[in-house]
Amino acid sequence: MKVLRRSMLEMDESVVAEFEREIGFMQRTRHTNLVRFFGAGRQDDGTPFLVEEVMSGGTLKGLLRGGRQHGMQRPLDWLTKTSLAADVARGMAYMHGLGHIHRDLKSANVLVTGTTQAKVADFGSVGLLLTERQRLRPAFQASGSSLADLGQTQGVGTPLYMSLEMLRHAGYDESTDVWSFGVLLWEIAAQASPDLLEQQGYTIGPVYSALVHCLEDGHRLQTKAEWPDAWRSLMARCWHQEPGSRPAFAAIVQALDSSSPLA
Check if 217 is active-site: no
With beta carbons less than 8 A apart as the criterion, state whether 183 and 221 touch.
yes
Q: Which of 12, 44, 87, 104 is catalytic?
A: 104
Closest to 87 (Cα-Cα) out of 104, 109, 110, 108: 110
With beta carbons less than 8 A apart as the criterion, state whether 126 and 100 touch.
yes
Question: For residue 73, what are the β-bridge partners?
Answer: 68
Q: What is the CA radius of gyration of the chain?
A: 18
3-state secondary structure 192-207: CCCCHHHHCCCCCCEH
Beta strands in 30-139 (DSSP E): 37-42, 48-52, 58-59, 68-69, 72-73, 100-101, 110-112, 118-120, 127-128
CA dihedral 144, 170, 218, 198 (to 10 degrees): 30
Q: What b/e readout covers 102-136, taking b as 16+ CB neighbours within 10 angstroms? A: bbbbbbbbbbbeeeeebbbbbbbbbbebeeeebeb
Q: Which residues are catalytic?
A: 104
